[in-house]
Amino acid sequence: MKLKRFRAAAVLAAALLAFLPSTAQAADYPDPLAISGQEIIHDPTVQHLKNGLYVAYSTGGIIGARVSKDMRQWDDAGNAFAEPPSWWYEYNSTGDPWAPDLSYRDGTYWLYYAVSSWGTNHSAIGVATSPTGMPGTWTDHGKVFSSETTDSWNAIDPGVIKAEGKLWMAFGSYWTGIRMVELDPKTGKAVEGATVQHLATRPDLPYAVEGPYVVKHGRYYYLFASYDACCSGVNSTYKIKVGRSTSVTGPYVDSSGTSMLEGGGDLLLAGHGRYVGTGGESVFRDHGHDWLAYHYYDADDSGTPKLGLNKLSWGHDGWPTVE
- Say if residue 181 is in the same domain as residue 247: yes
Strand order in 64-68's β-sheet? 36-37, 73-79, 64-68, 54-58, 45-48
The residue annotated as part of the active site, out of 43, 157, 182, 298, is: 43
Read off the CATH number of the domain in which 67 is found: 2.115.10.20
* pTM given for the model: 0.91
Count of all residues that appear for the chain in the document: 323
Please state, in angstroms and rounded to a whole number, the distance separating the CA atoms of residues 68 and 310.
16
Residue 28, pLDDT score: 81
Please state the domain count of the chain: 2
- Is residue 42's pLDDT more than 50? yes
- Is residue 61's pLDDT more than 90? yes
Give the pLDDT band of residue 83 (cuts 50, 70, 90): very high
- Say if residue 183 is in the same domain as residue 225: yes
- Say if residue 19 is in the same domain as residue 127: no
Mean pLDDT for 154-178 is 97
* Domain residue limits at 25: 1-30
Lowest-confidence region among 6-20, 34-48, 279-293: 6-20
Cβ neighbours around 304 below 10 Å, total: 16
- Say if residue 11 is in the same domain as residue 89: no
- Say if residue 123 is in the same domain as residue 18: no
The residue annotated as part of the active site, out of 96, 101, 210, 298, is: 210
43 a catalytic residue: yes
Q: What are phi and psi of 152, to 5 degrees?
A: -100, 15
Please state, in angstroms and rounded to a whole number, the distance separating the CA atoms of residues 218 and 32.
25
- Say if residue 9 is in the same domain as residue 88: no
Mean pLDDT for 150-158 is 97
- Is residue 195's pLDDT more than 90? yes
- Say if residue 10 is in the same domain as residue 52: no
- Say if residue 112 is in the same domain as residue 131: yes
- Is residue 196's pLDDT more than 50? yes
- Say if residue 200 is in the same domain as residue 276: yes
- Say if residue 12 is in the same domain as residue 87: no
- Say if residue 147 is in the same domain as residue 26: no
How far is C-alpha 216 from the chain's CA centre?
Answer: 15
> Pseudo-torsion of CA 49, 133, 79, 44, nearest 10°?
-60
- Say if residue 142 is in the same domain as residue 227: yes
39 a catalytic residue: no
* Residue 60 Ramachandran class (φ > 0 left, ψ -120 to 50 alpha, else beta): left
Residue 60, pLDDT score: 93
